[in-house]
Structure 1
Amino acid sequence: MGLSGHDVERFEASRPRLQAIAYRMLGSASEAEDAVQETFLRWQGADVDRVEVPEAWLTKVLTNLCLNQLTSARARRETYVGEWLPEPLLAGDPLLGPAETVEQRESVSFAVLAMMERLPAGERAVYVLREAFDYPHREIGAILDISESASQQILHRAKKHVAEGKARVELDEGAARRVVEEFLAAAISGDTQPLVRLLTADVVSSADGGGKIPARTKAFSGAPAVAKFLRGLFKPSEAKRAVVGGEPEVYAWVANGDPAVVAVLDGRVVGVMCLEVTADGIAAVQNQVNPDKLERATAVWARSDHGKPLFTAF
């Protein structure tokens, strides 16, 4: 028996929230959308008239699908070529979800998404449901089939792990773009010292090419080494142009609430470099160049009013 129009509407009303939960859980827009679609299929096959609280039912189904997905995804990532980084979401993407509180904004930051990759799946689920969506521990316990006190203990552990990263500086969109402009000016200056002054002493740089685009296979750290690498990265060369197929236009933007460098070639986003800004400077430079993880960014970019590029790279 098919769903009534009302039943479909009830699901669609929950879709934005479900997508935002799934993205934070999985760090992948495409996997999040697949999980939400599978949740809809489960809704379609259920006796929905007997579901007393649709939001709770849908959240429980989705969360458990994500937990299963995390188990298989982590097995695949053991054979992933190079560093695995989350899929970036550009400013204005509805998949980013709620951003009214510091906790909600932090939960979708690139740095926290990367950090959560190290958490056990259960910790990640509790952290997302509580910090990003303010679910009471009683409801989280019902979703995960654990006690309320267990949920509280798991959240404590998760927050402790996430707090091991450096505290981000909250920036509005204008300030974030100014950070990127200063960063890019230093990167193309031909001198590493301006970059070194912007970076923390223990800054970490990583990149995800997915084996499809040349990228350093291991993260490296230290302001001098990272500055030297970035200076070389933005230095024009025929080899770089050959890899990406031309000369990308470079923009100062925002991704996952962080300052971001966006490289665009013929309307296609070919790179998103997120900058983790702390009180001491830029603590991480995370560069996503895997084309499979930039398709959604390209679609969002096409709908945005992005103005003129700062310069043309390579």
Structure 2
Amino acid sequence: MQSLEFYLDALSQDDLIYFFLPIFVLSLVAEYWFDRKNRLGLFEIKDTKASLWMMLMVGVVDVLPKLAAIVAFYMLHEISPLADVIQRQWWAWVLLFFLDDITYYFFHRSNHEVRLFWAGHVSHHSAIKMNFATALRQGVTERIHKYLFWLPLPLLGFDPLMIFTMMSLNLFYQFWLHTELISRLPNLLEYFFNTPSHHRVHHASNIRYLDCNHAGVLIIWDRLFGTFSEQSEDEEPIYGLTTNITSYAPLDVALHEYHAILVDVKRASRWRDKLGYLIRAPGWSHDGPDKRAKTLRSQIL
């Protein structure tokens, strides 16, 4: 068993954020300047402040889950029969890219289809504007369950630093998707890759767009698994939640859905219904109309 110092040193090696953060900040400042100069209305000050608060809170909350993940990844990698086969070869990085990306797809999709997970992710979608600040508005408490989805990868022989590096690169790619300044890319890129157009759909509260386009880098996963939706020229995305929150206080933004779950659980009398409010998709009710995304979409289509 490795010492705690070993794992802390491994955690310190995952330092790509120090390269990415200046790019994020400069891009955000440039987008804000361009927005003000051209009066595009892409920013709302309170909304942007809430996004920056979420970024700071994630930096604090993520420390312990990430450390626990590194410990788990190292332990699983040690017992992997493929640990001697996967040695950071070029083909291993290519394979890891696809495995990481499809893992992200199912993690992200689960965040939208399991209400307890949605409670940790919803703060990212509560932004009412689409800009680079929204990209920094990550789900705070989703960090608690996030790394569980990546546990199979060290068993397949990929070392922890490889996995964390690929996870960071995937999130870095997603940053530029959060903008309205880029309309559409050439059709070939739109078909295979996640783009700002596809991600605007993901952030929209329109019924036809709800719970679609969960991809990280490759949009092909959504096309394969039936969660893809094209941005329609006839229907502009309306950002935010189907019922927007009214508070911009950081704790309210980060935790409001947990309170809503607690209210629903107390309201249900049967344990099966109480459990349903935790594991079923947002919008499910034991005694009211079914407002889950798939149900609402089937009604209008």
TM-score (norm 1): 0.27
Q: Which has the higher contact order (CA 8 A, sep 6+)?
A: 2
Higher strand share: 1
TM-score (norm 2): 0.27
